[in-house]
Chain A
Amino acid sequence: MTARIRRLGAVFILLYAVLFVQLNRVQFVDAEDYRTHEGNIRPQLRAFGQERGDIITADGVVVAFSIPVEDSTIEFRRSYPTGERFAHVVGFQSFNQGAFGLEREYNDQLAGERLDQQFESLKDLFVERDTTGTVVMTMRDDVQQAAQEALGERRGSVVAIDPRTGGIVAMWTYPSFDPNPLAGLDGTLVNETYSALLDDPDDPLLAKAYREVFFPGSTFKLVTAAAAIDTADISLTSPVWPQANVYSPLPSGSDLRNFGGSTCGGDLREALRVSCNTTFAEIGAEWVGPDGMVRTAENFGFNAAVPIDLPNAARSNFPVDYGARLADVDHYRPTEGAEGDGPFLPNGDTPIHENSAILAQTSIGQNDVKATPLQMAMVAGAIANGGRMMEPHVVSEVRSSDGDVYDTVEPSLWRVATSPLAADLLQEAMINVAENGTARNLAVPGLVVGGKTGTAQLGTDPPNSHAWIVGFAGRPGEDAELAVAVIVEAQPGASEQTGGAVAAPIARAVIEAYFNG
């Protein structure tokens, strides 16, 4: 029988060898395929079910944390105690719908999966291991709350940014949404809630403060003014433009009028104070010209991806194509009553182009100029910061669970938007606007405040418009600490609203919350 026993032994060895081969296939050769197999929810479960670090505001309010779940295969879920207030920035972590906002951008740090965090945990193998990171934001809950309350139930956005660092202090859009139901464990309910939010015509899921573009209207005149100072040797006091109530663009195009049909003019300071359309249209089209306007707008961040530490930031737009130049520089226009297509000569020292009429419109923030509220806050911030535009960010640092700092976000220059001279002059002009001009509602006693209003008309029948304000605030004798932008979107059926009346009080509430907080 010995031969048969040996043969049986050989059969068993063969069977186990085949088993071993198959094990190699499952656990090694094809393992990666299985791990990423559609329907294998282990990776998501691992991400969703584990404890993550907190997300806290600069003033120490916890806006996202993990709570243990009883009686479930999932051990933790996320909770957002401030509800909708930080939903657009913090986002949410949902099993069915994935992660959004900071929950997604800082997933590895929150989960403690970065190499440095893992390495930390190696050092103390036999004590409680918590590698999760705490994400500390630059945003302040008190300022965010002020923005939320001041805007109320009007569609719109508020952005407040520290111009010295680029740190975002507040960023609020109404309507928002409550992220808590989306982080729930009942998959059906999560999906229903998510679809309902998607179907809502007001788009509450969309963080319009940095992901939606609007006509900036007159707030864009700050860019035009910077271009005037930097490229056309215009100062606050000279030249002086004549009073006018209409600007007829060269070579031809629809006339531009002032707000409410008023008549205005004067020097740059005065034009800014009253937000004079006719003057700025002429400055853009005839004094700065296409090259200077496009270059300056792009220096201010238009037509570029914003380097913010949040996903899907929208790109602000300034049109670049104004056609071929039509005539050489000269300082004459065709005389009154002259005929035909004769040379079109500008008032300023820049040649007229085929589409200079469009340039006249874009110079006052119309036509195809589109900007996010964040972009306009950054414009005000660059002016307040000597022309230097910092990279915007909402996270200041990542800490370990016992307080060590893993990562610090160092302030970083994005681009030089304008010259220090232009920044100085525009600061002075904006302070004048807040003290004596359209932004008087922005002024806060005891602070140095500058501003610029905007009223972007969308239609006249019925009349409706976006109400804008951008501005900055600082303590006397010090650099400005805060730049703000507020847009109250056009309300369907509501009467015309101006930035000075509607948006400025909201920005003021934010400034007061920041400096009194």
Chain B
Amino acid sequence: MTALERRGSLPPSLAALRPRRVELGLIFLIAVVVVAAYGLASLGQSSSVPANIGPFLAWMLGLFFFVHLAVRRFAPAADPVIVPMALLLNGLGYVMIARLGGDVDGGGDLAGLQSVWTAVGIGLFVATLILIPRARMLAQYRYLFGLGGIALLALPLVPGIGIELNGARIWVSIGPVNFQPGEFAKIALAIFFASYLVDAGELIKNRLELRDLVPIGAAWAASVGVMVLERDLGSSMLLFALFVVMMWMASGRTMFLGLGAAMFAAGGVVAFQLFSHVERRIDAWLNPWADPQDSGFQIIQATYSMAEGGLTGTGLGRGEPDRVPFAETDFIFAALGEELGLAGTAAVLMAFLVLIGSGLRIAIRATRPFEILLAVGLTTLVAVQAFIIMGGVVRLIPLTGITLPFVSYGGSALVSNYIVLALLVRLSHEQRVAATKEPTP
């Protein structure tokens, strides 16, 4: 099997499916869609074909093709739709960021940075595939990941390097580098939990003692700590959902779901009463029009923006999504909703559902508990994070400042999501190769 991976060839039964050829076809379609969107956004804004459409085309197609070659070389059996869905989301997000930057021609500062981050993310995607030829290697370093995850989570609290931006203390500034360690902490913690629960899960499954509640208690404490100390409601919800889902997955005890929900609700109620920022978010969710100029401003503007889009949108470059604060990051879903309409937001939902479906299919087909749990954890990260921010923007749940995976502007978020993607691709490859090795009856 090792030799097979290195050669990049496929077992005969998979070769007939030609997953990489399917992937290449999908990537080509998506490249056409993204380049067309880029051109339309420029036409909509300045009535001219963007001057840099050539270089942009080459850059995006180059990156897309590079990803494809890397997968073909290092994980040739992987599911062919995972990477194209991520590239579609990334590409649409990039077009919107460039368009929000004011002029697509110049690309704007954020768009330029985002294209660099895309390249870095894809670089780390490839590096992850190379460095981790077998997913179960990760289990060996479980406590490194566990402690590293907690350390990353707490890093913004360290005086001197942690900084508070827009009310949340989730940034770290070391020298010229600013990043959100929480984006990487969630991956480390997903790995840690997968490996820890492989053993612990079996125990919890059979008997329930007080000390078995210690891990979930610790997880709860960490989540509430993030919410209270860093004022990051979104990451808090995401981490807690991750913990609870993985505990349930490993143990099969449905009570963890109920217990988790109850504990999180209790923590939320206490936080609501003790901390004004939680109360503000809840108030703004329940009735944003009570304070339309201040706490309700963002969500109201997002609602107007999406309503303006209607079914088919104003057209790329022809709306005013920049009226919503943080349109490039937290509210990029609203920006897509305004200019691409319900058709566009539904397409984004579908892309995430396809990605989630692929992730869960990997988990179902995987044979070893660690791989199963890791696939579930990573899929849960993407699914829940996307749901939290989209649900917040459409006022289904309280709004939290969290990025939309692959779509929002942001270096840490983009890079960490490409690492998640690489791990899923690795798991997918292993599972599909393993499947073909099973003796046929």
Contacts and interface: CB of A to CB of B under 8 A. Distances in A.
Interface of A: 1-2, 4-6, 8-9, 12-13, 15-16, 18-20, 22-24, 26-28, 30-35, 37, 39-40, 42, 45-46, 73, 125-129
A127 B387 CA distance: 41
B380 interface: yes
Contact of A23 (B49, B320, B337, B360): B337
Interface in B332-362: 337, 341-342, 345-346, 349, 352-353, 356-357, 360
Nearest to A20: B349
Contacts of B306: 23, 26-27, 31
Given A8-B245, A15-B391, A23-B346, 6 more contacts: A16-B349, A22-B396, A23-B345, A24-B342, A27-B311, A35-B304
Contact of A16 (B245, B320, B323, B353): B353
B47 interface: yes
Interface in B357-396: 357, 360, 363-364, 369, 372, 376, 380, 383, 387, 390-391, 394-396
Contacts of A40: 304
A8 B304 CA distance: 33
Given A12-B383, A22-B394, A24-B342, A35 B307 contact: yes
Contacts of A126: 43, 49
Contacts of A13: 353
B135 to A, nearest CB: 16
Contacts of B394: 19, 22-23, 26
Nearest to B375: A5
A428 B82 CA distance: 93
Interface string B305-316: 011111100000
- The winner among A23, A33, A45, A127 for most chain B CB atoms within 10 A is A23
A42 B356 contact: no
25 contacts: A1-B363, A1-B372, A2-B364, A4-B252, A5-B363, A9-B360, A12-B353, A22-B394, A22-B396, A23-B349, A24-B342, A26-B306, A26-B395, A27-B307, A27-B309, A27-B337, A27-B345, A28-B310, A28-B311, A28-B342, A31-B307, A35-B304, A42-B320, A73-B322, A128-B47
Nearest to B313: A27
B292 interface: yes
A19 B391 contact: yes
A127 B47 CA distance: 7
Nearest to B341: A27
A4 B307 contact: no
B397 to A, nearest CB: 10
A35 B303 CA distance: 9
A367 to B, nearest CB: 55
A1 B303 CA distance: 40
A31 B338 CA distance: 11
Contacts of A12: 353, 356, 360, 383, 387
Given A27-B341, A35-B308, A20 B346 contact: yes
B28 interface: no
Given A16-B353, A128-B48, A31 B310 contact: yes
A28 B341 CA distance: 9
B249 interface: yes
B272 interface: no
Contacts of B396: 18-19, 22
A32 to B, nearest CB: 8
Interface string B276-303: 0000000000000100100000001001
B387 A16 contact: yes
Contacts of A125: 43
B303 A9 contact: no
A11 B303 CA distance: 26
Interface residues on B, range: 35 or more
A6 B123 CA distance: 33
Contact of B364 (A6, A20, A33): A6
Given A19-B387, A22-B396, A26-B303, A42 B323 contact: yes
Residue of B303, B320, B394 with most chain A CB atoms under a 10 A cut-off: B394
Nearest to B292: A39
Given A27-B307, A45-B320, A128-B47, A8 B360 contact: yes
B390 A73 contact: no
**Secondary structure at chain B's binding surface: helix, strand, loop or mixed?**
helix
B307 A26 contact: yes
A27 B391 contact: no
B248 interface: yes
B387 A15 contact: yes
A40 B307 CA distance: 11
B304 A34 contact: yes
Contacts of B300: 39
A26 B372 CA distance: 37
A131 to B, nearest CB: 11
Contacts of B249: 1, 4-5, 8
Nearest to A43: B308
Nearest to B333: A23
B144 to A, nearest CB: 25
Nearest to B390: A19
A26 B292 CA distance: 18
Nearest to A36: B307
Contacts of B323: 42, 45, 73
A125 B39 CA distance: 13
Residue of A5, A27, A35, A128 most packed against chain B (CB within 10 A): A27
B307 A8 contact: no
A8 B369 CA distance: 16
Contacts of A22: 391, 394-396
Nearest to B311: A28
B376 to A, nearest CB: 6
A30 B308 CA distance: 11
A37 to B, nearest CB: 7
A99 B145 CA distance: 64
A27 B380 contact: no
Interface string B163-183: 000000000000000000000
A23 B345 CA distance: 8
Nearest 6 pairs between A and B by C-beta? Answer: A34-B307, A31-B307, A27-B342, A22-B396, A9-B360, A22-B394
A182 B248 CA distance: 65
B376 A5 contact: yes
Contact of B47 (A1, A26, A27, A129): A129
Nearest to A130: B47
A37 B304 contact: yes
Contacts of B395: 22, 26
Given A19-B396, A23-B394, A26-B306, A5 B387 contact: no
Contacts of A8: 245, 249, 360, 376, 380
Contacts of A45: 320, 323
Nearest to A129: B47
A4 B47 CA distance: 52
B8 to A, nearest CB: 30
A378 to B, nearest CB: 45
Contacts of B292: 39
Most buried by A among B252, B300, B303, B337: B303
Q: Which of A2, A33, A42 has the largest number of chain B CB atoms within 10 A?
A: A42
B364 A5 contact: yes
Nearest to B363: A5
A156 B299 CA distance: 53
B125 to A, nearest CB: 23
Contacts of A39: 289, 292, 300
A60 B300 CA distance: 46
Given A31-B310, A42-B323, A23 B357 contact: no
A126 B47 CA distance: 7
Nearest to B46: A128
Contacts of B353: 12-13, 16
Nearest to B380: A8
A27 to B, nearest CB: 4
Contacts of B346: 20, 23
A72 to B, nearest CB: 12
